[in-house]
Each structure stands twice: as structure tokens, then as C-alpha cells.
Structure 1
Amino acid sequence: MRILQLNSIVSAKAAAYSERNRITKEKRNVPSPLDTNVTLKVDSRLALVSFYGKIKPAERLQKSNYKIPEYIGEISKARYFYGNSSVVDLSMGNPDIIPPKKARKVLKDKVDDVWASRYNSPKGESILFHSISKWMQKRFGVEIDPRKEIMVTSGASDAVDHIFTAYANYGDKVLIPDPGYSLYDDLIVRHDLKKETYPLDPKNGYLPDFSKMPADAKILILNYPHNPTGTFATKKTFEEAVKFANKNGILIIHDMDNSEITHSGKKPAGIMQVKGAKDVAFEVHTFSKAQSMPGLRVAFAISDEENIQNLLKAKYLSGGSVYTPVQAAAAAALDDEEGYIQTVNKIYRSRKNTAIKRLHELGSDAKPTQGTYYLWAKVPPDFNSDEFFKYVLHKSQIAFTPGTVFGDNGDGYVRIVMSANEKQINQAFDKIEKAGIRFDISKLDLPEETRNEIDKMVDGTYSIVAKADSDYAEYMKTLSKKRTIMQERIKGKDPKYNAFVVKDTTKLPWNLLRDGQKVYLQNQKEGVALFGEIRDLPPFSSPEEYRKLALEIKKQWKQEKYPQAEILPPYKNGKFYPDANYFVLKADDKIQAIANVEIQNDGIVWGRSLNSAPWNQGKDKQIKNCATSVIQRMVSFCLETGNNTLKFATDKPENISYYKYLGMKTEGERYFNGSKCTVLRFDKEDMEQFLKRYQVNLAF
């Protein structure tokens, strides 16, 4: 009997081993995601990519109408095309102000506590409960039992998620505002619930009309101050909400994410100020906005004891809790809040006023919002939100949030977030103004060429890419098309570029450079050094037109940026090589350095002028750190454009030692500008090792 059992086990193991080998062999034959012959299954709404296989993703992923990844993908594409530092993001609600000093100190101190890294209560810590209770009494005049009526969560969305788990069954109806925060929609899909929107009309001050709401819902979500419009709700609105909930047996979630950010200083009402609200409502507060702690993921929910116990049971289903030092920091922030909040509101008020002034100059009638640190601005006539968002993004590299992210009723608006300082906000509107974009000019009144460009922005064909999908796998496949276009230009098959490009072996990076590199092209044709930003280059109708742009850029550099500097490249006594194109890469470090990547006609790339820029001043260590940063950009340039060798030449012993330290190999000697120089070389493998060593991410 034992022998039979053993034989059965051996046979089963052999069968399993054979099956594992078969699967492994199949996996080896699976094509790369970059293979253009691979059939992909793409959900453009979530930018999900799945290969046809045995394991299918859940249907809820296909049902989601969560639009944030779509517009973030468009911003990522803009960063890719125009350079990371060129794009100013005024779209994401991600505060840039440092948290309160006392909270930061408590966080640092508590990390060293022996109990800090141990499991803690999913409900929260006593120190934070008591701070919340005192704050609710002081701020709203509401008595909250610190032991029974509060639960701490990992952000406001986490609170809503667990409330759904605790109270909503499959197919239950949830009422959400339109326009409103789009994550509500996604959480409804996650829990297999039924969504029904209620409209918020600007004519009614973006307040709900409870008489028109269905009575058969299980949950009603309110969000005031309102995201994205900044509207306050009155205490009367909350009284009507509680009455509606009691009458129909509906649970209210009041998401008060932006409770303390106000424009005039007037504080908004909360639902817990209404008698009996605890019985039928949760109110959710977060430390992300007012205390500028979004990355610490801490919030709290308030309700009566029974509701909090149900929420805690739901929390136990998923486990997890908020890190103890973070809760201590949150308590410190509440205890020391008033002065900090006044400072934060003063900063946001000033930013809003600056943005409103610039919007009015561009023909907008936008007004300061009552609360939040957002502005809600109408798009120009005959534009929809998505069109205008992409138009502004691609023409000026400024990112707003399209109103459609917040629902159908958000169309016709963009949200502008005050997550940049006043100087950056002014610079952003300078770029919009320079691009010729106005809020009072109808799309129909724009030139036909501009309207055609907007159509291409909307359908994804704007740029040299034939089709750039928001999905990254599809987007990566366009790289081979780009390189084909480059080679066509280089081989002289594109007459618009033929007059400005030299031999077939030259490899150019058309629109492939990124990560904030500012790229300038010089060409020694006709004995004149020509300058121009790569994205503003050909087609030009003639060399004269090209030269005119070069002179304008040269003048701008002399007057605005480095009035005492030599014009690039910074050779005082050297000469240009007529057999080479120069790409000048500028590193945005504290110590400015200019590096020339010289692509000669034999296809060899030379790194040039690391330390010859006259404004490159500083300590030796700083200069070398900056030089390393510049070399990273050179190496990135070479690998991304298919140039597998990068050479340097220097007559300075300290530079030779430094280059060898970075991993370069000595190749020989060569004369440059009358000086005998040692030649050092990076091959492809050396460059890849260099990038790994300095943790540079080249993923597209």
C-alpha cells in the first residue's frame, strides 16, 4: 500500500515537473512588450495593459470611469516631449507648503521610540483622539467623545472606502455630486455598488436640491468646501441633509477635506453642528491640505459610537493602521494649529489673487473661490474642457485639471490649483500669454491651422508621433517610428530638413531628449553659428529664417540669462568645427554648467566643455558633482539615440583621474585647439554601468 502511494506521489511530481517545464518554455517564447507584433489589450481609461493569457483581470477594472490616470498620462506625455522642468503642473491637489514645525519635530522624535515600529490599534491612538476632540470643540462647538466617536484612517479616501465596506451591500445605490471628486466613482466600482449622480448647478451656488434626490439610496456623499468649485455649504444645507437622511434611512458621508482653507478667513460649517447628525452621518477630516501633510496619509472619521464600531469592524477586514509617529505629529499639528492655518491661508490667498489678476488679463471672468486652494475657471467659448486642457498643455506647457475629471457637469471649466509659489504662477501665465492663449476668444475664431492642431491634440496625433496613446506600452511602441522619421530626415529624404543636416551617419535625437534638458542646436552651415531650441527648429522656409531665430535666441541669452557670458559654446579662443553638429545640454543645478555633445560626421560622439563655462564657479567638489550630473545627461543622450560610444578629451591631469573614477577607459592622445589631450572613452556597457551606479532611470 505504501509502495503504491509512493508511486502515485512520484507520478504526480513528475507530471507537475513536466507541466512546469512546458509553462516555462512557453514563457520564454512570450514576445517583449516593445515588439510591435504583439497583440495588446488596452483599457485607455486606466492605462492598463494585459496580454491575452489564462488570467484575466477583474471586470471592475474595465468598468471604472476614473479619469485621473488619463489626464495625468497626457501630462506625462508632455513632460516626455518638452522636458520635465518645462511643464508647470497646476492640476494636482498636492500642497507644496512645509508642514508645521512642531509636527515635524514630534515626527522625528517619535521615530526613535521603541514602540514606534510595532503594531498599533487600527482605531487610532489616544493622543490623537484627545487632540481631535479638543479641536472639534474649539472649531465647531461640538462635543465628541474621544474614546468612542473617532476613528483614524490612512487618508480621507481610506475612510470612505471602509464606510462603504461597513454599510453598503452589492448593488446598493450611492449618490455622489456632479461635479465632484472623481475617486468616489472609483470606490463605487470597487465595491460593486450602483452610482447615481445629483447635479450641482452654479445657479444654485453648487448646493444640492434634496427634493430631487431619489429616496432609495443607501449612501449620500456630500463634500464641502466643494472640490472643485470651492463652494461652502451653510448649516441650513446640512440640516436639510440630516432631515432627508432620517426620512429615508440614508447614511451621509460628509467629506470635509478642505475645511480650513478659506479665502476671506470665514470658516465653513460642518454637518456635526446639526443636532442628531452623528446618528446618520460620518464627517471625514484630513491633515493633507490645512496641515500640508498629504504624503503622511492621516485623516479621521467622526460619528456616534455604534457607527464607529461598525467602521472598526470593516477596518479589521483589511488590517493596517496609521504609523504611530504620524499620529503623534498630527496631534501636534492640531494642538498648534491656529497660527499655522493663518499663515497657510495668507499664502494661498496671495497666490489666488495673483492668478485671478493674470486670468482677468487673459479675458477670464474667474473669481476667488470661498474655500479650498483651487480656482474654477470657464474655458473659452466653443471649447470643451478636454480640448482646452490639451491646448494649454501643449502650447504653453502649463497643466490645469480638465473639468470633465469631476463629471459631465464639470465640462466647460478647468480647475487651477495653487500648488506653486507666486513667481511660478506668474511665469506659468507668462507662458500662456506668450502662446497667444486667451479665455475670451472662441475656438471658432482661432486660425484654421490652430484649430487643426487642437484636433490633433485631442485625438493623440499632435507631435511627430503618428499616434500617441495615453497607455504607456502603446506609447513606447512609437519610439521606433520616431527613429525611422529621424533617419529619413538624416538621409535627406525630407527636403524641409535637408539643408540643415549633414551626413548619413549622423544620429540626431529629434524630440527624444527629456528629463528637463534644455537643448540647443548649432550648425556651422554658411560660416555662422545658429541657435534654436530643438522643439522650435525646422521646418524653416530658408536659412535666413533659421538665422533670424538664432539671433533672437542669442540676444535673449545675452540680455536675460547670462549677460557676462560668452555665447554658447563657451570657447573664447577656439573655433567651430564645420563637420559637426553641437547639442548643448544645460544642467539645472545650483552650479550651472554647460556641456556640448558634439556629433561628428563619423558618428562618434564627443563630450565637450564640462568646466569651460565662465559662470561655473564654486568649490571643486561642487563643480565635480555638477559635472557628474552633466555627464549623466550626455550618457542618457547617447543611449537614447543609439550612439554607443561617448569620448572625452582633456589636458588636465585632475580631469583624467576624475573621468577614470567615473569608469572611462583611456584610448590614446589627440590634439584639440593646439593642446595635446588624453582621450577617454565610455562604451555602451560602461555607460549602462555608470547610470546604474548613479541610479539614473531611463525608462520611457
Structure 2
Amino acid sequence: MVFEKAERLRRLPPYLFKEIDRLKAEITAKGVDVINLGVGDPDLPTPRHIIEKLDEAAQKPANHQYPSYSGMNDFKVSVAGWYKRRFGVELDPLKEVITLIGSKEGIAHLPLAFINPGDLALVPTPAYPVYHVATMFAGGESYFMPLVKENRFLPDLDAIPPEVARKAKLMFINYPNNPTGATAERDFYERVIDFARQYDVIICHDAAYTEMGFGGYRPMSFLEVPGAKEIGIEFHSLSKTYNMTGWRLGFAVGNAEVLDGLGQVKSNIDSGAFNAIQYAGIAALEGDQSCVTEMQKIYQERLETLINGLQKVGLEPEIPKATFYVWCPTPKGYSSKDFSSLLLGKAGIVTTPGSGFGDPGEGYIRMALTVSKERIQEAVERIQKLSF
């Protein structure tokens, strides 16, 4: 029998990171010692005190039952407390916080609550692919906002035609940014809020990398800006901050009405995050934050090693103030895929072609700081032996 897949699946581009995994496996099978700078999955372990809290909570039978789809109240109170300490933002834990099975899940489900067939979402490009895919799954269309160096990798809101803006229901933004490493400041968020008010657009800010600043830089929350809570929400995750990517725990905060819509979708699709993991999340948010400071120091050292090495071979990478990504222009004459293929085939280094994140990513590759400083130094030495 032949089973025909739904049209929405046939319209999907190949999932970028799945293809990277395939290519990595292919060259590893040939006996090559591969250095993987392709996927943003931290190599650092989850801090011990978080693991111990999970172990303790998992032993309690009460935590083995169905959790609340919107999250344990204790975890939401903890999230609100963290936002107050970190950003000075006041949140009502019962109405302005919702627990997620990782922020990707929440981002993917949100368009189902607000996008009708034919509606538009304003989506940055290059970008994390889920913004566009989630919009498409909800029956909507993406209007792409190019992120280019000339505009500091921020969307040009003035370039969005008024007829497009009036049709848009959602706008996705993401700072510190994946893949470019760019950051946004208060003046940009103020313009976003004005735009949202003018056109009745819900702002969805993916803030997964706010705790990955370099050199003392502290990225701000979109919700710090007056008026932000009136028009939008912010997604966050414990994945990168506490090296908990596999644990699948995140949250969305902000506008209560928008979160209620997301909660309605979740109540019909999932059964919430495992309570024991939420207790571990409380330990992460309320515990000693020296683990975060140490993480930032490690990534800073890796960043300096990679940037110095790339500059020595004549490349001109963007120097990020946050995230654990380096967005690097390709050498003259090389496309994104060509250069990624050269690095993989001739040096055993996995990188991500920028074109995989969207057309304006052509001419760049993304490198993740998710291997040791020593392995990054080895990658640099391999690159220095290439001709390009």
C-alpha cells in the first residue's frame, strides 16, 4: 500500500538539523574524526544540584500522575521570581506564566491559537525554522522579514507594506538571535511595540539566549519595555541557560489573553511537563547561579579561540555579544553549502550553511561553540591548512 502524506508535510523543506546529522554520520562512517560545530546542543553537563532535585522528586509517587497542562503553581511562581530578579519584570504567576515542554513546543503551538487559513505571520529570515513551519501548519502564510548586516540583523519594520501589516496576526522576533548572534536594545523593542499597536499584531519574542552574554553583556527582556505585556509574550527555556536541552522544560510569559489561547491548544494536545522535572526547574531558577556564570566564562574562552583562528585565515566573522553561535561570511566564490561541504569533506568539521535558515543567510555559515576549547583550537588548525 502507498500512504499519501498530508500536503502540509509535502510542503516542508528538509529539516535542517536532520540533514546535518545525516552528513555527519556519513563522514564518520568513513573513519573521519569529526568536530561538530553544526548544532546548538550544549556539551556541558546539567549542574549537579538540578540533577539531584530531579532524583529526589522522581522518587515521590505523587509526581508520577498527570501534571497540569499549564504547569505547577510552584514552578510558575519560581519563573515569576526569576523574571523579577533578572529583568525587574512583574508577572502574575497564575495568569502571565505558562509552563512548556521546551520553548520549541510553545512556539510551534502558538499559531494554532491565533492563525486562521490565509492569515499572515511576520517571520524573520534567516531564522530558527519553527517560526515558519508552525505558521504553515496552522494554515497561515509567512511574510519574511530579511535580517541583513546593513540593518544590524534587525527587521526593517518600515519596509513591511501596510497591506501586509494589516493582514498579519503574529510577529516572531528572536534576540539574542539564532543564527546571527545579533542583539536588540530598547529602541528596537519600542519600535516593535508601536508597530504592534498600530496594526493589532501579537509579538512573540523567542528569548532563549538571554543568559548567554559575553564580556559582562546582559541581554534585556522584551517585557522590560513599557507596553510590551499589552501586545505580546516572551518564550524562554532552561535548555541553554542550565544545559537542560534533553529535559524539555521552558515557559512563556506576558500577555494573559495570548497565554490563555496557547493554553487552550496545549490542553487539547499535551498533558504538561513531568512534575519532577518542574521541581528540578525550580532548583535551577532559585539555586546558586554561579553555574551560569561559569558557563558564560567557558563559552567566552571558546569564542575567543574560534574568532582569533578564523581571522588569521582571512575570514571576517561577526563577533557576537551573546548566544553561542558565530555567524561567519564565506570566502569569496563560495556559497554557504559549498563552504560547509569543503569544511566537512576536507577538514572533518560540521558547520551549518546559512542558506538553510533562509535566503538572506546565503553567503554565511553558522558555527556553534558546543565543543571544548581544545577541539575548537583543533578545528581552527584544520581550517588553517585548507586552501580557499
**Aligned position for 2:154:** 207
Contact map agreement 1:235 1:270 (CA 8 A) in 2:
no
State how far apart, in whole Å, the 1-side matches of 2:369 and 2:120 are. Answer: 35
Distance in 1 between residues matched to 2:288 and 2:324, nearest whole Å: 18
Q: Equivalent residues in 2 for 1:660-675 (5 A)?
A: none
TM-score normalised over the length of structure 2: 0.95
1:521 equivalent in structure 2 = none
Instruction: Choose the corresponding residue for 1:313, options 264, 269, 277.
Output: 264
Secondary structure of 2:61's partner?
Answer: coil
Q: 1:152 aligns with which of 86, 92, 99?
A: 99
Q: Does 1:59 align with 2:7?
A: yes
How many angstroms does 1:170 deviate by?
A: 1.5
Partner of 2:181: 230
The aligned counterpart of 2:324 is: 373
User: Among residues 364, 368, 384, which one is paired with 2:315 in the alignment?
Assistant: 364
The one-letter code of the counterpart of 1:270 is: S
Trace 1:95-244 onto structure 2 (pairs within 5 A). 95-213=42-160, 214-215=164-165, 216-244=167-195
Contact 2:108 / 2:130 at 8 angstroms: preserved in 1? no
1:268 alignment counterpart:
219
- 2:342 is matched with 391
Tell me the secondary structure at the aligned position of residue 218 of structure 1: strand
Aligned 8 A contact 1:64 1:185 in 2: no
- Contact 1:172–1:194, Cα closer than 8 Å, also in 2: yes
SS in 2 for 1:177: strand
Whether the 8 Å CA contact 1:263–1:368 is kept in 2: the answer is no
TM-superposed CA distance for 1:359, in Å, is 1.0
Q: State the distance in 1 between where 2:270 and 2:38 align.
A: 33
SS of residue paired to 1:392:
helix
**1:316 to partner: Cα distance:** 1.2
CA distance in 1, matches of 2:70, 2:19: 35
Unaligned runs of 5+ in 2: none
The residue identity in structure 2 corresponding to 1:356 is I
Write out per-residue CA displacement over residues 32-78 of structure 1, whole angstroms, 9 at most, x where no aligned residue: xxxxxxxxxxxxxxxxxxxxx44211111110124413333222222
Does structure 1 retain, via aligned residues, the 8 Å contact 2:211–2:241?
A: yes
Q: TM-score, normalised by structure 1?
A: 0.53
Equivalences, count: 383
The DSSP-based 3-state class of the residue aligned with 1:300 is strand
CA offsets 1:619-665 (integer angstroms, 9 cap, x no match) = xxxxxxxxxxxxxxxxxxxxxxxxxxxxxxxxxxxxxxxxxxxxxxx
> Separation in 2 of the partners of 1:381 and 1:258?
31
Give the distance between the partners of 2:345 and 2:200, measured in 1 at CA: 49
AA in 1 matched with 2:22: G
Superposed counterparts of 1:139-538, under 5 Å: 139-213=86-160, 214-215=164-165, 216-336=167-287, 338-434=289-385, 436-437=386-387, 441=388
Structure 1 residue 433, shift from structure 2 partner: 2.8
Deviation at 1:364, TM superposition (A): 1.4
1:139-180 CA distance string (max 9 Å, x none): 111100112110001111111122111111122111111111
Q: Quick one: distance in 2 between partners of 1:272 and 1:427?
A: 41
- Counterpart Cα distance in 2 of 1:335 and 1:146: 15
What is the DSSP-based 3-state SS (H/G/I as helix, E as strand, rest coil) of the residue aligned with 1:81? coil
Deviation digits for residues 63-102 of structure 1 (CA, Å, limit 9, x no counterpart): 012441333322222222335xx11111000001112222
CA contact (8 A) 2:236 2:251 kept: yes
Identity %: 30
Classify the secondary structure of the residue corresponding to 1:115: helix
- Segments of 4+ moved more than 4 angstroms: none
Instruction: Kindly provide the CA deviation profile for residues 246-292 of structure 1, in whole angstroms up to 9, marking residues without a partner as x.
Output: 11111110000111101122111221112222221110001111111
8 Å contact from structure 1 (residues 64, 186) kept in 2: yes
Pick the structure with greater CA Rg: 1
Distance in 2 (CA, whole Å) between partners of 1:200 and 1:235 is 18
**In 1: Cα distance, 2:318 partner to 2:144 partner:** 26
Look up the match of 2:22.
Answer: 73
Question: Is the 8 Å Cα contact of residues 231 and 370 (structure 1) preserved in structure 2?
Answer: yes
Task: Select the structure with the greater relative contact order (CA < 8 A; seq sep ≥ 6).
Answer: 2
Which ranges of structure 1 fall in alignment gaps of 5 or more residues? Answer: 1-52, 442-700
Code of the residue aligned with 2:51 in structure 1: it is: R
Pair 1:116–1:315, CA change in 2 (3 A): same
Would the aligned equivalents of 1:238 and 1:270 in 2 still touch at CA under 8 Å?
Answer: no
